[in-house]
Structure 1
Amino acid sequence: MIQARSEWSVKPARRTCPTPAKVTVEGWHQRGWVHRLALSLRAARPHVAFDIRNHGKGGATSRDVAGIVGGDRAVDHVDYDLVFLGCGINDVWRRFQGRPDEAVDIDEYTRHMTTMLEQLNGYSRRIVVISETPFGPVENPSTVAGMNAELARYNRAAALAAAERGALHLDVWAPFTVAAEHLATATADHHAGSLWSDGVHLSELGDTLLLRQVETFLTEHRIVDKLLDPRLERERALDA
């Protein structure tokens, strides 16, 4: 969830000349696509103050996310310029894990998505519903295929809910599927790695692919530009 406002009175930082040093890079560490998106936005628009609130929670189902959305509004009363909303993979996975009490069926999932979109529409200028990424090799191939067939139903329900309530929809399923197929057939000297760390959670490569999809989507739809320039909001009004 993001707030953005222009701040042009920026004082230049004092520059110093550090002593030359040799640095050996032994590894790379990142904090997920949301953190990297925040850095990307701030680097591209240093004159804008972005207030970014990541309410993501590992292992959360749509039931949990609905509670987070409702609780955030009740406590903070913050209006948002841009909201990314996505959930569903744990709703499906819990059932295949044999944890039926935590699983969320498609009807309940649809109710949660509808409720959250209705709530967010009341205090958000632009909402992007982002699809879930497919399962990777977390189980045997036939089980994974069944899990992905079920998850695809949840993604379709989310896309329909977004369309009915004026939200944008970002479908990342196809890019992940194509990339996974290429990686699965790559030669032994191809060191790109896997999109998943365990078949469910994304690896650094998976996070990077997701980040690229989000950045491309923001650019193609000129979302940040329109939010920063109220005159461009007329296009959204005409669409509505």
Structure 2
Amino acid sequence: MLFKDGQHILLIGDSITDCGRREENAPYGNGYVSLLRAFTTARHPEVRLTWTNRGNSGNTVRHLAQRWDTDALAPRPDWLSVMIGINDVWRAFDGHPQNAVPLDEFVETLRGLLRRAVEETGCRLILADPYVIEPDREEPQRATSDRYAAAVAGLAEEFDAVHIATQRVFDHAMRCTRSEDWSHDRIHPNLAGHALIADVFLSAIEL
């Protein structure tokens, strides 16, 4: 396993990471972060890890930039997992285009944040793609999201990060299921959808 005894794992992002971690489901939320923590602990009880969830619902990369110092750098994690980009795309399609983040701004902002994290804390990175649980790759939001996911994959290679191909996992599942089986709105997963995300994380860290 990539995680070692005594390490601190911090996961930051939007509502997919948040999942009520500041409310009734504190401190880990009731989504993929909680599942990943539980199954990692179950499989490797000898590896004592500290887990921190810093997802904030509604966040774009602009919001991450505003809270990066306190929420990502100050805790000085050994591993920093970032899943961001869904809202950066979605806002262009949900009636709030002024809050969408153009691809070039998204890439440059995220690159700068990741560089700071590595240089100032020495952490290893995990980068998870944004996604839309939509099988039609020509559908406008899905097509746009795929470009952002490709950019995240490029940053993962640039920073030698662990890459979580979230969209690919949902695409594989939708070969025999419907989008509604995983989410009511193509974005926010149900428990099974969060399990899919947690499972691909587990596969990546078990290398």
The structure showing larger relative contact order (alpha-carbon pairs under 8 Å, at least 6 residues apart) is 2
- Equivalences for residues 36-115 of structure 1 within 5 A: 36-72=35-71, 77-115=74-112
The answer on 1:201 being equivalent to 2:188 is yes
The offset of 1:4, in angstroms, is 4.6
Deviation by residue 1:167-194 (Cα, 9 ceiling, x = unmatched):
2222122221121231139xxxxxxx61
- Equivalences for residues 159-174 of structure 1 within 5 A: 159-174=153-168
The letter for the 1-side match of 2:191 is E
Alpha carbons of structure 1 residues 73 and 150: separation in structure 2 relative to 1, 3 Å? closer
Alpha-carbon distance between aligned partners in 2 of 1:176 and 1:194, rounded to the nearest angstrom:
11
Aligned to 1:23: none
The offset of 1:210, in angstroms, is 0.8
2:176 to 182, 187, 192: 182
Aligned to 2:130: 132
Aligned to 1:213: 200
Alpha-carbon distance between aligned partners in 1 of 2:145 and 2:188, rounded to the nearest angstrom:
15
Alpha-carbon distance between aligned partners in 1 of 2:206 and 2:72, rounded to the nearest angstrom:
28
The offset of 1:3, in angstroms, is 8.5
Alpha-carbon distance between aligned partners in 1 of 2:5 and 2:89, rounded to the nearest angstrom:
34
The letter for the 1-side match of 2:192 is L
Gaps of 5+ in 2: 8-28
Q: How many residues align?
A: 183
Which one has the largest radius of gyration? 1
Alpha-carbon distance between aligned partners in 2 of 1:49 and 1:152, rounded to the nearest angstrom:
36
What TM-score do you get using the length of structure 2 for normalisation?
Answer: 0.78
Cα contact 1:3–1:81 (8 A) shared by 2:
no
Cα contact 1:129–1:169 (8 A) shared by 2:
yes
Alpha carbons of structure 1 residues 216 and 40: separation in structure 2 relative to 1, 3 Å? same
Alpha carbons of structure 1 residues 3 and 97: separation in structure 2 relative to 1, 3 Å? farther
The offset of 1:66, in angstroms, is 2.4
Aligned to 1:190: none
Cα contact 2:83–2:130 (8 A) shared by 1:
yes
Cα contact 1:83–1:124 (8 A) shared by 2:
no
Deviation by residue 1:95-126 (Cα, 9 ceiling, x = unmatched):
11121221111011011210111011121432
> What RMSD in Å do the two structures reach over aligned CA positions?
2.5
Aligned to 2:22: none
The letter for the 2-side match of 1:215 is L
Deviation by residue 1:33-55 (Cα, 9 ceiling, x = unmatched):
10111112222232333211111
What TM-score do you get using the length of structure 1 for normalisation?
Answer: 0.68
Identity of aligned residues (%): 25
